[in-house]
Amino acid sequence: MSYSDDDGKTWSAPQDITPMVKADWMKFLGVGPGTGIVLRNGPHKGRILIPVYTTNNVSHLNGSQSSRVIYSDDHGKTWHAGEAVNDNRQVDGQKIHSSTMNNKRAQNTESTVVQLNNGDVKLFMRGLTGDLQVATSKDGGVTWEKDIKRYPQVKDVYVQMSAIHTMHEGKEYIILSNAGGPKRENGMVHLARVEENGELTWLKHNPIQKGEFAYNSLQELGNGEYGILYEHTEKGQNAYTLSFRKFNWEFLSKNLISPTEAKVKRTREMGKGEMGKGVIGLEFDSEVLVNKAPTLQLANGKTATFLTQYDSKTLLFAVDKEDIGQEIIGIAKGSIESMHNLPVNLAGARVPGGVNGSKAAVHEVPEFTGGVNGTEPAVHEIAEYKGSDSLVTLTTKEDYTYKAPLAQQALPETGNKESDLLASLGLTAFFLGLFTLGKKREQ
């Protein structure tokens, strides 16, 4: 640990605090890489919290990664390790502990920490469940509630995330930034309202960077502005090139989603595959998520097979030629979940193509136009990025193959989110990396 007494101009010689916080059983002790905080209220006001995570000698990185914080109550002179989120937690009817556990799915790793106005400490953790995991501490990070809250509205593709606490017009919010997927790409900024009981209600999910997007740091700059520093690679750059953007409250909150259900906005023909199969896309009017692969029931008694999630609002399915124009009457098995906890409605959607194929339920959602009162850009864009013109191939386990040309798309100058389904820069990395893990780091 180093400290500065002159606003960061000069720094003290580093002090090794490892002996204060690392137990003998810890095979690995890693910091964050989330930003530390100082508790601003409650009985532990002034306490410094730094997110860390550990592994044990039983299963190391394969089954024991566990999030916790280290803390100091004397301005950094001495440090202590709090309990891990996994300590004495019940998982599948069995009590686990970070020092002995061997459970891959129960792992939580890199994390970022915030404090709510009620004094609760929230730890937002990278994990392997595919969705956001959040732990809560009532004693300033020393121990954790045994129930981890999961939010399917926010995707976790196993990459570091950042979160900060902010206030706006007397209300309390959390801003979280991470990769939207399907790999470490398509950066998102999420806005959640903090309820009176400390629970989070996710209000908006804003794309902020197409293409590669990995580790990031999010901070409030003042005057209603926020800054994000993040890893993003353009052509010819190395994998850890840093980019910076500013955005404002208008960008975060404009057109907050408030429908009563998630509806199919339109259906599209996405290409033709092998074995006589076609590929169709169902685009919803708000973000959806697939945890259990859905099979669509068609009016002719046949079904459409789920292929993959194309983006946060679009799902791809395989259909037969004779299914063109058929109404989609429901879900035969599996499920489609709304990321806003809304009921999902397929009413009026049909398999596209043919005479009746273009008919679909339409429920338009206004696109973000950006800026303060619409006059200034809410996101300060970096140089434009153009995608590939090459063809990519997606082969599923059913041996269907989908080929599609990749469109070119320039980033908008005013931070607008382009909605055209085929003009998606994420398509290249999505299909090429669909069945590979593609980690940038082992930990």
Strand 314-320 vs strand 216-222: parallel, antiparallel, or unpaired?
unpaired
Q: What is the token pair recorded at 305?
A: 């097979």
Q: Each residue of 55-96: pLDDT tens digit? A: 999 999 999 999 999 999 999 999 999 999 999 999 999 999
Task: Among 73-77, 156-160, 362-366, 378-382, name the one with the lowest average pLDDT.
Answer: 362-366
Which positions ≥6 away from 246 have C-beta within 8 Å? 221, 225, 226, 227, 228, 379, 380
CA atoms within 13 A on the CB side of 181: 21
Domains defined for the chain, CATH in brackets: 18-253 (2.120.10.10), 262-345 (2.40.10)
Q: What is the token pair recorded at 59?
A: 């299963």
In whole angstroms, how far apart are CA 279 and each of 33, 70, 100, 297, 327?
41, 50, 47, 16, 16
Phi, psi dihedral angles at 302 (to 5 degrees): -90, 180
Is residue 34's pLDDT more than 50? yes
In whole angstroms, how far apart are CA 257 and each of 156, 202, 303?
21, 10, 31
Residues of the chain with pLDDT > 70: what percent?
77
User: pLDDT tier at 181 (50, 70, 90 boundaries)?
Assistant: confident
In the chain, what is the greatest distance between 2 CA atoms, to the nearest angstrom? 75
Q: What is the mean pLDDT of the chain?
A: 81
Q: Each residue of 302-358: pLDDT tens digit? A: 999 999 999 889 999 999 989 999 999 999 999 999 877 778 999 889 999 754 333
User: pLDDT tier at 420 (50, 70, 90 boundaries)?
Assistant: very low
Higher pLDDT, 347 or 99: 99
In whole angstroms, how far apart are CA 165 and each of 48, 114, 121, 124, 226?
16, 6, 11, 12, 11
CB 50 within 8 A of CB 140: no
Closest C-alpha to 69, from 14, 122, 107: 122
